[in-house]
């Protein structure tokens, strides 16, 4: 009796598997079931159909009306009526189109603003003992706070002044902030107690932080990226030179003040 193998041969199994699991077609189809989506067009293993010609821009003769190889068309977005921008690349109001002297004038002005404010931050360092004696500040921590509270305002000011400059413009914010700094820095000279000197120092620091926060934006508005090297170098010197010049200037003022306080020598009395 001939023995029959109940298991299919390797060849028959492979053919069965091939018949049962067919390789998916690479032609685009629009089958809704058991399909894969690729760029909006479906690929299916069963019942291949023609892809949507209207969606992909293909005609019946196999040609496409655009060279996008079947990508969906997109309409250009409409312009925002509320968008404020320049009238064109050659707009004379655009700082990038200013003359070079005008650009350098803006850089030097902003750099000078950035220089003055750090001078005030460290200028009181040699006079802390005299300030403490005048206002009755006995704690060494409070004496140091007279100087450091100015820098504390540096950390707060940019959070307010930066967004305001994007809304109202950099010139308006810089001018008002510098005026604010000038008023309260002058008020420090008329302070009557330690509370006033601390408050005035903090408020003057708020105004003085504007050039630190907006100077980089002014330079980027005036110069293109490949042209900013020299202007950035000059602007970056100001925050480093200012804190060094401040104590030197204050020490000179303190010496002159001590000389004025010395009583004049008494004239000898003739008998």
Report the pLDDT value the prediction gives residue 178, as an integer from 0 to 100: 94
pLDDT in tens, 133-178: 989 898 889 999 999 999 999 999 999 999 999 899 899 999 999 9
Per mean pLDDT, which range of 60-64, 243-247, 257-261 is the poorest?
A: 60-64
One of 1.10.287.180, 3.20.20.30, 1.20.1250.20, 3.90.1150.140 is the CATH number of 97-257, namely: 1.20.1250.20
Report the pLDDT value the prediction gives residue 251, as an integer from 0 to 100: 85
pTM of the entire predicted model: 0.63
Neighbouring residues of 260: CB distance < 8 A, sequence distance ≥ 6: none
CB burial of 220-258 (b: ≥16 within 10 Å; e: otherwise) equals eebbeeeebeebbeebeebbeebbeebbeebeeeeeeee
Spatial contact of 210 and 163, defined as CB atoms under 8 Å apart: no
pLDDT in tens, 222-254: 999 898 999 999 999 988 999 999 989 888 888
Q: What tokens does 216 get?
A: 């980089």
End-to-end CA distance of the chain: 164
Q: CA 105 to CA 56: how far, in whole Å?
A: 56
3-state DSSP: the chain helix, strand, coil percent, rounded to 5? Answer: 60, 5, 35
Neighbouring residues of 177: CB distance < 8 A, sequence distance ≥ 6: 157, 161, 206, 207, 208, 209, 210, 211
127: left (phi over 0), alpha (psi -120 to 50) or beta: alpha
Spatial contact of 64 and 58, defined as CB atoms under 8 Å apart: yes
In the predicted structure, residue 50 carries a pLDDT above the cut 50:
no
Spatial contact of 213 and 173, defined as CB atoms under 8 Å apart: no
Q: CA 191 to CA 196: how far, in whole Å?
A: 5
What DSSP designation does 37 have?
Answer: E
Spatial contact of 43 and 29, defined as CB atoms under 8 Å apart: yes
Residue 183, H or E segment = helix 170-187
The domain locations on the chain are: 18-56, 97-257
Q: What are phi and psi of 222, to 5 degrees?
A: -90, -30
pLDDT in tens, 69-111: 444 455 556 777 767 677 777 788 888 889 999 999 999 999 9
Q: How far is CA 208 from the centre of its chain?
A: 18
């Amino acid at each position: 009796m001939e023995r029959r193998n109940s298991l299919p041969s390797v060849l028959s199994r492979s053919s069965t598997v091939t018949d049962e699991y067919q390789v998916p077609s690479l032609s685009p189809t629009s089958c809704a079931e058991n399909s894969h989506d690729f760029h909006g067009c479906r690929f299916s293993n069963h019942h291949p159909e023609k892809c949507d010609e209207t969606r992909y821009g293909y005609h019946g003769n196999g040609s496409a009306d655009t060279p996008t190889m079947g990508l969906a068309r997109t309409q250009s977005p409409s312009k925002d009526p509320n968008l404020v921008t320049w009238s064109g690349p050659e707009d004379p109001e655009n700082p990038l189109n200013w003359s070079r002297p005008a650009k350098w004038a803006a850089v030097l002005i902003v750099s000078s603003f950035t220089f003055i404010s750090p001078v005030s931050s460290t200028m009181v360092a040699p006079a802390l003992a005299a300030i403490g004696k005048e206002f009755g500040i006995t704690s060494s921590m409070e004496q140091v706070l007279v100087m450091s509270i100015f820098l504390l305002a540096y950390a707060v000011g940019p959070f307010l002044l930066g967004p305001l400059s994007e809304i109202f413009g950099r010139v308006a914010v810089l001018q008002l902030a510098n005026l604010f700094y000038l008023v309260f820095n002058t008020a420090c000279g008329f302070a009557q107690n330690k509370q006033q000197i601390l408050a005035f120092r903090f408020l003057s620091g708020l105004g003085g932080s504007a050039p630190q926060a907006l100077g980089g934006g002014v330079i980027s508005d005036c110069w293109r990226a490949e042209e900013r090297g020299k202007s950035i170098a000059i602007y970056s010197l100001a925050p480093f030179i200012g804190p060094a010049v401040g104590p030197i200037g204050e020490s000179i003022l303190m010496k002159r003040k001590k000389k004025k306080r010395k009583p004049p020598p008494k004239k000898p009395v003739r008998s």
